[in-house]
């Protein structure tokens, strides 16, 4: 049977089942082979083998990914519902999770602030309230591009499959509330109290490091922490819980206010409250539960290995909420904690605190590196040194001082403002200095979306490295570590040795953006870079949520050129943000483009000019003169890509099409980027019949106010070839090698359109 200190093995088998259900092909069979070898060849007892197989199969079925269910969009209600979460307010919306009482389905309720009559939320909206709900039900927004965050899948893991938008507070009429709602109210009132008594510069740090709410920090600060892999400092975790417990022990026991037993009992009683106070994120729950169990076991003189405690907490949380399995905070917290526990023999051997800190930083970062790359596609190699400096600074100075300040806010609020200024102003200066010094060292290694096979190979090498390190076989350990890193290096250079290329029409809504990747990564060209919708307040939304994630997921760190057809925002709106994010060599525009982009070389193009990227030609066909209209001044580009002739037409009109037919009587196109998002002002019958395109590509936004693409245009195009529209199919990709390739869509292709 399973003895003490070995419960991590069946829990690992349980987790292995959850991983296997998400894999296919070679990664699946490789992991199965490793699992079989681990189960059968490392253990002799058949009962033990049976237990391992049971846990693995149990994990395979229990942790199966939840898929969104089909819902019927449209008006709903009034229907009975129960608020099943805290009510969260943002600058634009009020959101809460509800359980529909008839079907027991979960939904996300949203109220936009501009539709709220009184300006404040009704006092009856609380966790556990019984409500009458009436609103417009719709599907959760899903990812429609490679590399894009899938909000629909994220909520599906929490069993939330739809959202209901209510029009005004009358759409949700409630009464009653749960006991938990008073806990939420207590936390919110504490935050309001702290904000009212501390300096305005101090509160964002108090909110982040005491309450787990980093949204109040400056975006530039959050980005800096993210760039240097320091985000774990802003997310309350085991570090914060440990410091809080240690602080309470010092306060009670070391100062003589109570005995060690009294201090332990007080901590046990306070931990659940602290967990809620800190936001109850997975990392906080993990650390709090572990601390609680260890304190209880010690109180009753029960000796249990810490690995068993961690395993018990992990499987308990997964059984209670399988959605935790895909939660990045849960994954990072348990991977790092488990790695550090097994590394204790290494860490404890060094008598120097600085060396111990270096070991902790190295092991922590290496343990989560492949998972980090699979989510964020990049890593700063110098972040190890940043952690060595910043983590001790926050651990021994910032967090303890903020905990002290929090206590002052509760006991003597009159001096909180004065004390907060003394604490936070030097901190802001120190952080500003660190950010300035670190600017030249912000070097991101963009690897791309790490394939499961390489994650498995890396973790296998990392595990062997740690095993040999603990056994003091330093040469073998170093070799295994180098091999693990080489796995990532090999993956990052794959595009440079691959003969295949790719053309991607990204789904950016009502706008155009094409990414052309040449074979062997000889060059990357972007044709148009549309911006956000005109009504959006976030001008970088498209580049941050769609274009940048896609490019980074492909391991792209430099762009050889961006061709912008014309000045309209839906074609040029993201250019400046892309120049700031990537190394963009040149911006290619027409002679009639009013360029105001900074930090990039601007090249103006005329008809018959050629843009050469690694000897691959993009030929300019149009415009031949200034029409005075940005759309009619659109650059028209022709190129042979993957054995097909492509024409990118910007937003030209039927009059421009007539000019092109006269100027280039022999011109043909296998692939047509349909002008003006499928508007009937373009794509005349003569133009389509003349080109005879086999593939037609339209980029258009869902429910756009222009009605694009127009029906007469789509019917005309479908007579000659296949039609792909981003609002129906999401991103469309042409993957080619040599002179042949295949088209694919990110969303399933509607067979009725073929």
One domain, residues 575 and 703: yes
One domain, residues 706 and 629: yes
Would residue 648 count as lying in a domain?
A: yes
Domain CATH for 685: 3.60.15.10
pLDDT-derived band of residue 753, with 50, 70 and 90 as boundaries?
A: very low
One domain, residues 28 and 96: no
| Residue corresponding to tokens 């022709």 | 638
Determine the distance from the C-alpha atom of residue 464 to the mean position of all C-alpha atoms in its chain, rounded to a whole number.
30
Would residue 21 count as lying in a domain?
A: yes
Would residue 408 count as lying in a domain?
A: no
Tell me the C-alpha distance between 589 and 660, whole Å: 19
Domain end (from 42, 62, 82): 62
Determine the distance from the C-alpha atom of residue 597 to the mean position of all C-alpha atoms in its chain, rounded to a whole number.
28
Domain CATH for 119: 2.40.50
Would residue 481 count as lying in a domain?
A: no
pLDDT of the residue at 752: 37
Would residue 493 count as lying in a domain?
A: no
Residue 42 has pLDDT above 60, yes or no: yes
Mean pLDDT is lowest, of 45-59, 236-250, 451-465, for 236-250
One domain, residues 46 and 118: no
Q: Which of 498, 519, 530 is nearest to 641 (CA)?
A: 519
One domain, residues 526 and 669: yes
One domain, residues 545 and 674: yes
Count of other CB atoms within 10 angstroms of residue 690: 18
Alpha helices in 514-648 (DSSP H): 541-542, 548-553, 569-572, 575-581
Residue 751 has pLDDT above 50, yes or no: no
Would residue 48 count as lying in a domain?
A: yes
Tell me the C-alpha distance between 251 and 263, whole Å: 9
Average pLDDT over residues 536-559: 91
Average pLDDT over residues 537-564: 93
Task: Name the pTM for this structure.
Answer: 0.91
One domain, residues 550 and 699: yes
For 580-610, how does the pLDDT look when each residue is reduced to its tens digit (9 = 90+)?
Answer: 999 999 999 999 998 888 999 999 999 989 9
Tell me the C-alpha distance between 459 and 371, whole Å: 10
For 213-242, how does the pLDDT look when each residue is reduced to its tens digit (9 = 90+)?
Answer: 888 899 889 999 988 988 888 877 777 787
Would residue 332 count as lying in a domain?
A: no
One domain, residues 551 and 637: yes
One domain, residues 165 and 57: no
Count of other CB atoms within 10 angstroms of residue 258: 15
Would residue 735 count as lying in a domain?
A: yes
Domain hosting 113: range is 74-177
One domain, residues 607 and 733: yes
The number of folded domains in the chain is: 3
Domain end (from 145, 161, 177): 177
For 275-317, how does the pLDDT look when each residue is reduced to its tens digit (9 = 90+)?
Answer: 888 888 888 888 889 888 888 888 888 888 899 999 999 999 9
For 473-491, how does the pLDDT look when each residue is reduced to its tens digit (9 = 90+)?
Answer: 999 999 999 999 999 999 9
One domain, residues 56 and 80: no
Mean pLDDT is lowest, of 128-137, 151-160, 607-616, 727-736, for 151-160
List Cβ neighbours of 614 (8 Å cut-off, separation of 6 or more). Answer: 518, 522, 523, 560
Catalogue the E-assigned strands of 166-310: 172-175
List Cβ neighbours of 28 (8 Å cut-off, separation of 6 or more). Answer: 20
For 142-167, how does the pLDDT look when each residue is reduced to its tens digit (9 = 90+)?
Answer: 899 999 999 998 888 888 989 999 98
For 353-408, how does the pLDDT look when each residue is reduced to its tens digit (9 = 90+)?
Answer: 888 888 888 998 999 999 999 999 999 988 888 888 898 899 889 988 998 999 89
pLDDT of the residue at 750: 59
One domain, residues 682 and 576: yes
Residue 98 has pLDDT above 50, yes or no: yes
Domain end (from 162, 177, 192): 177
Q: What percent of the chain has pLDDT over 70?
A: 97
């Amino acid at each position: 049977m399973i003895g003490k200190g070995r419960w991590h093995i069946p829990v690992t088998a349980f987790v292995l089942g959850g991983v296997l259900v998400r894999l296919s092909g070679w990664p699946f069979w490789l992991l199965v082979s490793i699992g079989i070898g681990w189960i059968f060849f490392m253990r002799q007892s058949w009962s033990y083998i049976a237990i391992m197989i049971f846990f693995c199969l149990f994990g395979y079925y229990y942790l199966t990914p939840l898929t969104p269910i089909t819902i019927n969009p449209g008006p709903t209600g009034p229907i009975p519902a129960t608020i099943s979460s805290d009510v969260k307010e943002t600058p634009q919306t009020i959101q809460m999770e509800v359980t529909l009482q008839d079907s027991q389905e979960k939904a996300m309720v949203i109220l936009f602030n501009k539709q709220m009559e009184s300006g404040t939320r009704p006092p009856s909206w609380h966790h556990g309230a019984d409500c009458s709900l009436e609103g417009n039900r719709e599907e959760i927004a899903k990812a429609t591009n490679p590399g894009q965050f899938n909000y629909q899948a994220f909520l599906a893991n929490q069993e939330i499959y739809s959202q209901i938008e209510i029009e005004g507070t009358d759409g949700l009429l409630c009464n009653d509330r749960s006991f938990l709602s008073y806990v939420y109210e207590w936390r919110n009132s504490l935050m309001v109290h702290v904000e009212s008594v501390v300096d305005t510069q101090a509160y964002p740090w108090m909110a982040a490091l005491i309450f787990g709410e980093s949204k109040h920090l400056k975006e530039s600060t959050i980005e800096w922490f993210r760039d240097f892999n320091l985000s774990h400092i802003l997310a309350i975790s085991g570090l914060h819980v440990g410091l809080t417990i240690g602080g309470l022990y010092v306060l009670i026991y070391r100062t003589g206010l109570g005995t060690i037993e009294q201090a332990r009992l007080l901590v046990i009683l306070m931990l659940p409250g602290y967990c809620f106070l800190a936001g109850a994120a997975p990392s906080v729950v993990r650390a709090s539960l572990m601390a609680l169990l260890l304190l209880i076991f010690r109180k009753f003189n029960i000796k249990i290995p810490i690995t068993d405690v961690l395993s018990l907490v992990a499987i308990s949380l997964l059984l209670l909420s399988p959605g935790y399995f895909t939660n990045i905070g849960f994954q990072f917290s348990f991977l790092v904690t488990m790695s550090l526990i097994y590394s204790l023999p290494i860490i404890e051997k060094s008598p120097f605190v600085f060396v111990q800190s270096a070991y902790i930083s190295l092991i922590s970062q290496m343990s989560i590196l492949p998972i980090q790359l699979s989510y964020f596609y990049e890593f700063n190699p110098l972040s190890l040194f940043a952690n060595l400096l910043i983590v001790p600074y926050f651990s021994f100075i910032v967090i303890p001082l903020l905990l002290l300040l929090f206590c002052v806010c509760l006991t003597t609020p009159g001096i909180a403002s004065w004390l907060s200024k003394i604490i936070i102003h030097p901190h802001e200066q120190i952080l500003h200095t660190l950010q300035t010094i670190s600017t030249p060292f912000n070097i991101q290694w963009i690897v791309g979306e790490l394939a499961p096979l390489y994650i498995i190979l890396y973790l296998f090498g990392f595990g062997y490295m740690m095993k040999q390190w603990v056994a003091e076989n330093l040469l073998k350990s170093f070799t295994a570590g180098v091999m693990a890193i080489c796995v990532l290096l090999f993956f990052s250079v794959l595009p440079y040795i691959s003969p295949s290329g790719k053309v991607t029409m990204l789904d950016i809504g009502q706008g155009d953006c094409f990414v052309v990747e040449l074979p062997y990564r000889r060059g990357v060209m972007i044709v148009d870079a549309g911006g956000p919708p005109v009504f959006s307040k976030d001008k970088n939304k498209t580049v941050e949520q769609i274009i940048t994630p896609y490019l980074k997921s492909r391991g792209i760190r430099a762009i050889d050129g961006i061709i912008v057809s014309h000045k309209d925002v839906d074609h040029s709106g993201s250019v400046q943000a892309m120049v700031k994010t990537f190394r963009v060599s040149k911006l290619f525009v027409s002679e009639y483009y009013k360029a105001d982009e900074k930090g990039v070389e601007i090249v103006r193009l005329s008809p018959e000019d050629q843009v050469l990227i690694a000897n691959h030609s993009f030929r300019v066909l149009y415009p031949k003169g200034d029409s005075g209209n940005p759309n009619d001044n659109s650059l028209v580009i022709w190129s042979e890509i993957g054995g097909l002739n492509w024409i990118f037409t910007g937003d030209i009109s039927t009059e421009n099409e007539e000019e092109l037919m006269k100027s280039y009587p022999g011109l043909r196109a296998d692939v047509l980027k349909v002008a003006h998002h499928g508007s009937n002002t373009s794509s005349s019958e003569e133009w389509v019949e003349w080109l005879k395109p086999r593939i037609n590509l339209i980029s258009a936004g869902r429910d756009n106010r222009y009605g694009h693409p127009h029906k007469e245009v789509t019917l005309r195009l479908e007579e000659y070839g296949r039609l792909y529209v981003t609002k129906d199919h999401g991103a469309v990709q042409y993957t080619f090698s040599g002179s042949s390739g295949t088209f694919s869509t990110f969303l399933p292709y509607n067979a009725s359109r073929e």
